[in-house]
Structure 1
Amino acid sequence: MSGFDITLKPMRRVEVINGAGGRRRWSADDKARILEETLVSGAAVSEVARRHGLLPQQIFGWRREARRVFDAGSAASPAFVPVIVEPPSSVVPHNSPKPPRRKRAAARSGGGIELELCGVVVRIGPDASPTTIAAVISALKCGS
């Protein structure tokens, strides 16, 4: 007998994968559609990910990327609201009734901001921080 002992052992199951391997490419539309599914009230990211054959980490990465693109786009092109300055008028037209206004000390002192939209008056005092002013304007933009 020689020094080599060859014995054949039974083979285990072998899996053959046909088709393209590697990473899948998701279009921007597909990513947006999947992200919209996660933003629905009561939706769980893990369930949406499982349904599309993804890991939840991928969806959170897409959210981070979308937020970064959105923040960069809004910082690059600031949006301004047109301002119309009118002198106070003592004559009120009869066809446009205005809601009664309450005078506040900040508005009378001349140092505040007063916004009127659809009959609603919003007054921001002269000591308001820029963060507060931005939050008020953002809330008004979302509500209109």
Structure 2
Amino acid sequence: MSATMRADRSFHLIEAVPDRLEGAPVARRRRWSDEFKAAMVARSLEPGANVSALAREIGILPSQLFGWRSEAADKGKVKRVGRSAAGTGTADGTAIELFVDGMLVRVGPAVSEDHLRRVLRVIRST
């Protein structure tokens, strides 16, 4: 319900001044050196590295670490990993990526051949 307007049709000016909420932590933005970023990007690109776990260890969000990786790739400091149309895998068999009928299927080492065949059959039948 709206407030009634005064008879003389005057209004009051309310000034809002932004202020820190009471109890909110006082913290400045952290600045990360380029050397630190490069070291963390290198760690995140190691085989078997978990980006989310590394980000938690550093105390940042995973999206920030992915942003650092993207910046490093844009500057040519790291090479982007491309995917072929047929599929890619690693020499030690840790992962395979297959492109089947416009769908990406990632297969880990624990997946049996029979299970993979069933999955591919379902994808091809849709």
Q: TM-score range by the shorter chain?
A: 0.3 to 0.5
Question: Which structure has the highest helix share of the two?
Answer: 1
Query: Rg bigger for which structure?
Result: 1
Query: TM-score scaled by structure 1?
Result: 0.35
Query: TM-score scaled by structure 2?
Result: 0.40
